[in-house]
């Protein structure tokens, strides 16, 4: 038996093993999914589901400073290389 803290959008914010005010009692199979309280799982209709779009957003927010800019620069460099090698065929 587990207890979930779920926000107004059904996003799981916390998961504990003891009753606590404001938490919903649920019977979930174990092992629980990794990251169940990371902010990208939803609890709907008695099921825990991974929201891939929300996970991508949360992961992007948790990247170290400068990571997203570096990732964008790598993408631009790859496109430039593709243009040089393939003559813009992509």
Q: How far is CA 16 from the centre of its chain?
A: 19
Q: How confident is the model at residue 90 (pLDDT cuts 50, 70, 90)?
A: low
In which domain, by residue range, is 72 found? Answer: 2-86
Angle (CA) 52-15-50 rounded to 5° is: 15
Highest mean pLDDT among 10-14, 60-64, 83-87: 10-14
Number of separate domains in the chain: 1
**Assessment of whether the complete model's pTM goes beyond 0.85:** no
């Amino acid at each position: 038996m587990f207890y979930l803290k779920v926000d107004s959008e059904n996003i799981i914010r916390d998961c504990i093993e003891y009753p606590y005010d404001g938490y919903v009692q649920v019977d979930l199979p174990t092992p629980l999914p990794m990251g169940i309280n990371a902010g990208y799982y939803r609890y709907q209709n008695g099921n825990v589901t991974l929201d891939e779009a929300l996970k991508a957003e949360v992961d992007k927010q948790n990247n170290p400073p400068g990571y997203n800019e570096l990732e964008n620069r790598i993408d631009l460099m790859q496109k430039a290389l593709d243009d040089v090698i393939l003559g813009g065929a992509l």
